[in-house]
Amino acid sequence: MKEITIDNRIMGYITLFEKVAHVEVKECSENEDMILFIVGERKLQDLFRRNENALATIRERTNKHVLVAEQSRDLITFVRNIFHRFGVREIIVTWKEGNTDVLVGVNQNDVGKAIGKEGRNIKLFREAIVRAFNVRSVNIKQ
- CATH number of the domain that 100 lies in? 3.30.300.20
Across the range 97-120, mean pLDDT stands at 95
| 14 and 31 belong to one structural domain | yes
Is the confidence at residue 13, as pLDDT, over 80?
A: yes
| 85 and 45 belong to one structural domain | no
Whole-angstrom Cα distance, residue 62 to residue 54? 12
The angle at the Cα of 104, spanning 3 to 84, to the nearest 5 degrees, equals: 80
Question: Which are the contacts of 92, defined by CB distance < 8 A and separation ≥ 6?
Answer: 102, 103, 104, 105, 141
pLDDT of residue 4: 63
pLDDT tens per residue, range 40-77 = 999 988 888 888 889 999 999 999 999 999 999 999 99
Buried b (16+ CB within 10 A) or exposed e, 112-140: eebbbeeeebbebbbbbbbebbebeebeb
User: What is the CB neighbour count within 10 angstroms for residue 98?
Assistant: 7
Number of domains in the chain: 2
| 86 and 122 belong to one structural domain | yes
Q: How confident is the model at residue 26 (pLDDT cuts 50, 70, 90)?
A: very high
Is the confidence at residue 3, as pLDDT, over 70?
A: no
pLDDT of residue 48: 81
pLDDT of residue 2: 56
